[in-house]
């Protein structure tokens, strides 16, 4: 929701997610997608670092395998309480259903049940679903993405260029404690 509203104001998803984290406005369901996969991975890492206490990461963070994933595994992971972190983070990377693709272990019925489950994700959980860029030939929106827009937040990472790209690079250097001249960034 928020990322699409921000897109109307010409704000890139990487700026929107940063502002949403600072404002504490991250919903329990975050859908990260788009052409710029390095930004999708960066955002997933940023959310994980924000909500997971590093000392108990093995307890409070779970990365599910999208190839062997079942609906029961998603529900069980989301409903397990976090131990010492602000939220339990459940990551489903490159989820085929997020692009409307079929997978062996995840049927159309499972997808419908997952969509029905999304508004009931516990407050103690942050479910992150990542996907690539939808194929150009597919004009209609994927059901899972529509549900994510309705019950959570979708951040669509379009390509960065010009001053946005420079700004992103400068911030990454700054966060790493490094300084870089503009001529090197250009």
**Which of 26 and 7 is assigned the larger pLDDT?**
26
Of 94, 79, 83, nearest in space to 125 by CA? 79
4 has pLDDT over 60? no
6 has pLDDT over 50? no
| 126, 62 Cβ separation under 8 angstroms | no
> Residue 88 forms beta bridges with which residues?
125
Helices (H), 36-185: 37-51, 57-60, 71-79, 108-117, 143-151, 162-175, 182-185
What integer best gives the mean pLDDT of the chain?
Answer: 87
Tell me, what's the pLDDT at 43? Answer: 96
Instruction: State the Cα–Cα distance between residues 170 and 153, nearest whole angstrom.
Output: 26
Instruction: State the Cα–Cα distance between residues 66 and 49, nearest whole angstrom.
Output: 21
Per-residue pLDDT tens for 94-142? 998 888 888 778 888 999 999 999 999 999 999 999 998 766 555 556 8
Give the contacts of 152 (CB within 8 A, at least 6 positions apart). 1, 27, 28, 29, 30, 31, 118, 127
Per-residue pLDDT tens for 143-167? 888 999 999 999 999 887 777 777 7
pTM (two decimals): 0.85
Instruction: State the Cα–Cα distance between residues 143 and 120, nearest whole angstrom.
Output: 17
62 has pLDDT over 90? yes
Tell me, what's the pLDDT at 177? Answer: 84
Of 136, 153, 177, nearest in space to 28 by CA? 153
Instruction: State the Cα–Cα distance between residues 27 and 121, nearest whole angstrom.
Output: 10
């Amino acid at each position: 929701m928020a990322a699409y509203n921000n897109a109307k104001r010409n704000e890139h998803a990487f700026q929107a997610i940063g502002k949403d984290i600072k404002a504490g406005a991250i919903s329990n369901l975050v859908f990260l997608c788009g052409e710029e996969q390095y930004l999708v991975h960066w955002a997933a890492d940023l959310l994980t670092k924000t909500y997971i206490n590093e000392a108990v990461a093995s307890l409070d963070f779970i990365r599910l395998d999208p190839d062997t994933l079942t609906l029961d595994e998603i529900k069980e992971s989301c409903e397990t309480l976090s131990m010492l972190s602000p939220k339990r983070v459940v990551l489903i990377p490159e989820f085929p259903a997020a692009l409307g693709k079929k997978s062996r272990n995840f049927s159309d019925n499972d997808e419908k049940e997952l969509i029905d489950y999304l508004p009931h994700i516990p407050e103690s959980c942050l479910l992150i679903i990542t996907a690539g860029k939808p194929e150009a030939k597919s004009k209609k929106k994927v059901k899972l993405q529509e549900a994510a827009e309705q019950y959570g937040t979708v951040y669509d990472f379009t390509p960065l260029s010009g001053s946005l790209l420079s700004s992103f690079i400068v911030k990454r250097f700054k966060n790493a404690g490094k300084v870089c001249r503009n001529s090197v960034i250009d």
